Structure 1
Amino acid sequence: MKEKIINKEDFVTTKWAGGETTQLVIYPEDAVFSEKDFLWRISSATFTSTESKFSDFTNYQRYILPLEGKLSVYHEGLYNRELNKYEVEYFDGSWSTFSKNTLDCRDYNFIIKGGNIAKMQILKEEDKYLLKKSEIVTVFSMDDFVINIDDKRRNIDGFSLFILETDDEEKISITRADSAVIITEFLIK
């Protein structure tokens, strides 16, 4: 198993039409977001406006949730949904999607190229979880947390990204967390 931590000082922040987006990680590492040549990406955005239109990501699937503030999504011609803090919305990147949010909103995004197997889970203190073989797993929380992997303790700083590449099934548990812990999994083919 390989492990890596990306600290918030190493994240890449850029402007977008409705605020700022911070790229926590992109895979593969040499992929270029604007060229849409990535398999998956995790980012977190803040807003300077209370309304925005999502970029078209045809051939991708998306997960989004609010880390702070309020967020509502409107999938044109399909349905609307108001999201509570840490409540996950999963949708097709080709959908015409709009959002309304409070100005203090910060979201968390996981975008996956179509045809791949991935998921996002929300864990809390004392939760146990089984990671599968041949996955890239990311673990994130707004606050410091402690994760045990096969009984080895890791202290992870808040707003940093812990990345694991699994060789075999791995048991993890969250032994301390003041806020939700977000886990994403991407199956390596």
Structure 2
Amino acid sequence: MKATLLRASDFQVSDWPGGKTRQLFLSPPDGHCGSRNFDYRLSTATVEAAESSFSDFSGFHRILMSLDRPLSLQNASRQEETVLAPFTPYVFEGSDSITSRGTCTDFNLIYSDHYQGQMIALSDGQELSRNESIQCIYALDNLTVTLGEQPPRNIEAQELLIMEKETQETELQIMFSSKQPKGACCAVWAGLTHIPTK
């Protein structure tokens, strides 16, 4: 397993119509989000406007999670409205026409048809056993992460740990501990499984 730790200074910050976005990771590294030339992208964004429209990412799939406050999502493509509670993943298509109401900081995963994505909020003391080929942990608080048989490693708040399988390894056992109250969310886990082309 190859593990890479990215710090806040590694992230790209830019404006979007509803606030600011921080690109945490883009694959491949020489891809480009604006031209939609990438396989997957992890980012956080502030939703600062009382009402804002999501960017069009037709041809991609998306998972969104609020990290702090409820967010009302009006999905015109599905003709549904959802009040998204903090730390609840919302899965939708990049082509969906979505208007959000409310302000928050969110966490986003966007991925192409070559992948299947998942997202989970993690609490102090939680153990996770996953088999995805790419796994990412975004720290919301300073925490200690134990990956299988490896020595524990400390991750600071707003750092991103990316783990990529290099062989047909078994499931990765992950354990988290932080100084947050028990049950409080301390990190977000995102996983991607590569779908072989037929």
TM-score scaled by structure 2? 0.88
- Output the CA distance in 2 between the equivalents of 1:73 and 1:9: 31
Tell me whether 1:143 sits opposite 2:133 in the alignment.
no
1:17 offset after TM fit, Å? 1.3
2:192 aligned to which of 171, 186, 189: 186
1:124 offset after TM fit, Å? 1.1
For 2:74, the aligned partner's letter is Y
- Output the CA distance in 2 between the equivalents of 1:185 and 1:137: 4
Q: Which runs of 5+ in 1 are unaligned?
A: none
Q: What is the RMSD computed on CA atoms of the aligned residues?
A: 1.5
Matched with 2:43 is: 43
SS in 2 for 1:9: helix
Identity of aligned residues (%): 26
After the TM superposition, which segments of 4 or more aligned residues of structure 1 sit over 2 Å from their partners?
175-180
Deviation by residue 1:106-150 (Cα, 9 ceiling, x = unmatched): 1111111124222112221222112216x1111012211111111
Matched with 2:100 is: 99
For 1:107, the aligned partner's letter is D
Equivalences for 1:60-99 in 2 at 5 Å? 60-76=60-76, 77-99=78-100
8 A Cα contact 1:146 1:177, kept in partner: no
8 A Cα contact 1:141 1:160, kept in partner: yes
SS in 2 for 1:180: strand
SS in 1 for 2:141: coil
Greater alpha carbon shift after TM alignment, 63-72 vs 35-44: 63-72
- Output the CA distance in 2 between the equivalents of 1:2 and 1:163: 8
Greater alpha carbon shift after TM alignment, 174-183 vs 160-169: 174-183
1:177 offset after TM fit, Å? 5.7
Equivalences for 1:151-166 in 2 at 5 Å? 151=149, 152-166=151-165
For 2:90, the aligned partner's letter is E
- Output the CA distance in 2 between the equivalents of 1:12 and 1:22: 5
- Output the CA distance in 2 between the equivalents of 1:184 and 1:141: 12
Matched with 1:112 is: 111
1:83 offset after TM fit, Å? 1.3
TM-score scaled by structure 1? 0.92
8 A Cα contact 1:147 1:176, kept in partner: no
For 2:174, the aligned partner's letter is I
1:50 offset after TM fit, Å? 0.9
The structure-2 alpha-carbon separation of the partners of 1:86 and 1:177, relative to structure 1 and needing over 3 Å to count, comes to: farther
Q: Which runs of 5+ in 2 are unaligned?
A: none
Aligned residues: 186
Greater alpha carbon shift after TM alignment, 172-181 vs 80-89: 172-181
The structure-2 alpha-carbon separation of the partners of 1:177 and 1:84, relative to structure 1 and needing over 3 Å to count, comes to: farther
